[in-house]
Amino acid sequence: MPEARTVLVTGGNRGIGRAIAEEFLRAGHRVAVTARSGEGPDGALTVRADVTDAGSVDRAFAEVEAALGPVEVVVANAGVTKDTLLMRMSDEDFTSVVDTNLAGAFRVAKRASKGMLKARFGRIVFISSVVGLYGSPGQVNYAASKAGLVGMARSITRELGARGITANVVAPGFIRTDMTDALPEAQQAEYLRSIPAGRFAEPSEVARVVAWVAGDDAGYISGAVIPVDGGLGMGH
Ligand code: NDP
């Protein structure tokens, strides 16, 4: 039986984050989620946090540490989209998405690294997207933020790799959640045509990969980009 770990998932009240929290719970770990609204799954501790605010992230970690012990596994999952074409994209459209998806992940990883360095053990998982490396019209802000996570994970790997800490990127393709339900049907149909697997995926399919890369069997994997995209991004 693998050791039970303390796990924190950001944005664990719905979608992929919630499925990730459920997967870690199923495996017997101590699980906390951050949420701005609502609650995580039964059995998880829910703490309030907005990843655009370092103070809020710090308070959330302190709450989790007090209740469940030092965070050993962190999944930076919270993310947003604000899609529009480059010509129409405002500065605010760009910076707000980068502030949540990229700087938010930085704030979370930085706070997590404190305890991980002390413990000489840690698993950092960033939830990126196939479009980070593949590109996507209308998502200049989002794709830039998701590509940035690759450089972040690889730099963390080079800084902290010798201290028992891994940092990896999981890059989902099209997963059925509120985020993708919001896309126009024509766009969904177009995506479907380009996915070799011929289908969209469920959040649980991402969750199982995240749990695996954060688990004991993946201790020698770091700085990797692991696609969960039905072949959409092959080679990107
Ligand atoms: P959802 O829109 O269903 O959920 C997004 C989550 O992020 C919510 O829990 C939300 O909290 C949280 N969140 C957003 N902004 C903040 C913030 N400032 N501070 C804290 N939490 C925040 O998205 P998904 O589950 O689909 O996506 C989860 C991750 O997976 C994202 O990073 C997304 O980019 C990525 N992804 C999703 C894909 C898909 O096909 N669905 C494909 C590739 C990547 P609240 O409920 O409070 O708003």
Contact 132, 171 (CB under 8 A): yes
Closest CA to 146 of 88, 76, 200: 76
Q: How far apart are CA 236 and CA 224, in angstroms?
A: 12
Task: Write down the domain spans for the chain.
Answer: 6-227
Ligand 1 closest atom vs CA 81: 34
Q: Which residues contact 92 (CB under 8 A, 6 or more apart)?
A: none
Q: Which residues are catalytic?
A: 142
Decide whether any atom of ligand 1 lies within 6 Å of the 13 Cβ.
yes
CA distance 67 to 16: 24
Measured in Å, residue 11 CA sits from the centre of ligand 1 at: 6
Query: How does pLDDT run along the chain (236 residues), one tens digit per residue?
Result: 679 999 999 999 999 999 999 999 999 999 999 999 999 999 999 999 999 999 999 999 999 999 999 999 999 999 999 999 999 999 999 999 999 999 999 999 999 999 999 999 999 999 999 999 999 999 999 999 999 999 999 999 999 999 999 999 999 999 999 989 888 999 899 989 999 999 999 999 999 999 999 999 999 999 999 999 999 999 88
Span from the CA of 16 to the centroid of ligand 1 (angstroms): 7
To which CATH superfamily is domain 6-227 assigned? NAD(P)-binding Rossmann-like Domain (3.40.50.720)
Alpha carbon dihedral 37, 75, 209, 151, in 10-degree steps, equals 130
What ipTM score was computed for the predicted complex, to two decimals?
A: 0.99
What pTM does this model have? 0.98
